[in-house]
Amino acid sequence: GQNIDQPTEMTATEGAIVQINCTYQTSGFNGLFWYQQHAGEAPTFLSYNVLDGLEEKGRFSSFLSRSKGYSYLLLKELQMKDSASYLCAVTDGAGNMLTFGGGTRLMVKP
Amino acid sequence: DAGITQSPRHKVTETGTPVTLRCHQTENHRYMYWYRQDPGHGLRLIHYSYGVKDTDKGEVSDGYSVSRSKTEDFLLTLESATSSQTSVYFCAISESNSQETQYFGPGTRLLVL
């Protein structure tokens, strides 16, 4: 089975940097996704990590350590529109299913 | 944006009635998924399909059935709705398996009274 842990809520200030962590224990693993979900909307894709290391995409970066079962999403130069839930999800060994964590609700304050 | 629609977008029904939710895609993607999202549980997979007439169970499949008679349509049926099935239901698609990015539909809010 899969077990994925993320903090439930975080608060940060506009213009700052925030790191959202995700730890996982899985029976099989192919890769890890991060999705963003604004309240009342559908999740949208942010990043996909398969190999260890940091992947940067504009203001957002995602890191993966397969040996530690750990990932983080780094958001720089926070904007008010970044207030949303951030969902960590891992693919199973067969690659047929995604298992999501409970999501981290980020509130950005002025 | 991937072409995914869900219908209905909102539904109120009574316990014991059958309910069918429809997911329609225009992307010709092979894989389609049904999730439910509840506070405290995040997104949980109900069923998925890897081709026409090819489906399999997810994490929370009890009380749900699915059908896929065409590439573009994936139906989720609650044979006899219960209050515990009150939720937001999301459909998603991906080109191949879950190692590919999944694109989500707008969701259906279902209230079972």
Residue of A nearest to B50 (CA): A96
Interatomic CA distance for residues A18 and A26, integer angstroms: 26
Which phi and psi angles does B39 have, rounded to 5°? -55, 135
Sequence-distant (6+) residues with CB within 8 A of B30 are: B50, B51, B71, B94, B95, B96
| Shortest alpha-carbon distance between residue B1 and chain A (Å) | 10
Q: Under an 8 A CB cutoff, do A48 and B101 touch?
A: yes
Res A79: pLDDT: 97
Express each pLDDT in B22-60 by its tens digit.
999 999 999 999 999 998 788 999 999 999 999 999 999
- Asked if B50 has any chain A CB less than 8 Å from its own CB, the reply is yes
Find the CB nearest B45 among A33, A50, A98: A98
* Mutation site, A29, A62, A96, A105, interface B, largest B CB count within 10 A: A96
Token pair, residue A29, equals: 């693993």
Residue of B nearest to A4 (CA): B42
Res A100: pLDDT: 93
Share of chain B above pLDDT 70, in %: 98
Res B1: pLDDT: 57
- State the 10-residue block means of pLDDT for chain A, 110 residues long: 89 97 89 95 95 95 96 98 97 82 96
Find the CB nearest B105 among A42, A96, A103: A42
Query: What separation, in Å, do the N-terminal and C-terminal C-alpha atoms of chain A show?
Result: 41
